[in-house]
């Protein structure tokens, strides 16, 4: 099992809150045009990044509920099992690209609140349980990473990663 990225629930929640606040502060400074118009070389707008983060955080909501992550992502199980994240991300973008910005932001905030609610009853020991404890029927070998890594990678780490891309996208267009 991989080493946990953070070792306690308090650290996890602190890192999530820090990254969430930084991301939302930056998004709050942007206009609708800045969120929906400038696109990178792959055609992604800031709104597409928001939709993408929402889908992956939603997969963690499903994970914590013991439901298949592909269902949380809204992609076919076979696609998810292949593990090609670029292909998964392309499907997510195609499915939701026409979603209005207001709806994308509302879903982003709603999914985040769902995740935080699911984290509330969990203790440090729950977060250190391996992936397999949450999704025992999912194919694969070994126990997988600790749950805290799945959560961290799809929240705090993901928010920071995409914030940098969103800022670069908007700065380039300015």
Query: What pLDDT, on the 0 to 100 scale, is given for residue 137?
Result: 86
Reported as type and span, the H/E element at residue 10 is helix 9-28
Give the pLDDT score at 4.
Answer: 77
**pLDDT reported for residue 28:** 97
**pLDDT value of residue 38:** 92
Q: Give the DSSP letter of residue 97.
A: T
| Cα distances (angstroms) measured from residue 40 to each of 1, 46, 51, 53, 92 | 36, 9, 15, 17, 17
**Which residues, other chains included, contact 63 with Cβ-Cβ below 8 Å and sequence gap of 6+?**
69, 72, 131, 134, 135, 147, 150
Q: Which of 17, 28, 19, 25 is nearest to 101 (CA)?
A: 28
Contact indicator for 144, 131 with CB cutoff of 8 Å: yes
Contact partners, residue 37, CB within 8 Å, separation at least 6: 45, 173
pLDDT digits (tens, 9 = 90+) for 106-145: 999 999 999 999 999 999 999 999 999 999 988 776 899 9
Q: CA 135, CA 57: separation in Å to the nearest integer?
A: 16
Given CATH 2.40.170.20, say whether it is the number of domain 9-173: no
List, for the chain, all residue ranges whose pLDDT scores fall below the cut of 70: 1, 141
Rounded Cα distance, 133 and 5, in Å: 18
Q: What is the DSSP string of 30-59?
A: S-HHHHHS---TT---HHHHHHHHHHHHHH
Could you state, in order of their start, the residue ranges of all structural domains in the chain? 9-173
Q: How far apart are CA 155 and CA 21, in angstroms?
A: 12
């Amino acid at each position: 099992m991989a080493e946990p990225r953070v070792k306690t629930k308090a650290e996890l929640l602190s890192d999530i809150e820090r990254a969430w606040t930084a991301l939302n502060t930056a998004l709050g400074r942007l206009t609708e045009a800045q969120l929906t118009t400038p696109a990178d070389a792959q055609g992604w707008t800031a709104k597409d990044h928001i939709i993408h983060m929402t889908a992956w955080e939603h997969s963690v909501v499903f994970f914590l509920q013991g439901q298949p992550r592909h269902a949380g992502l809204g992609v076919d199980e076979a696609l998810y099992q292949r593990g090609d994240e670029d292909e998964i991300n392309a499907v997510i973008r195609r499915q939701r690209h026409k979603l209005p910005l207001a709806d994308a932001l509302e879903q982003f905030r709603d999914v985040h609140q769902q995740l935080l609610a699911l984290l509330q009853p969990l203790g440090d020991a729950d977060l250190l349980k391996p992936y397999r404890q949450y999704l025992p029927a999912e194919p694969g070998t070994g126990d997988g990473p600790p749950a805290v890594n799945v959560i961290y990678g799809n929240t705090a780490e993901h928010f920071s990663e995409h914030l940098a891309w969103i800022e670069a996208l908007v700065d380039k267009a300015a």
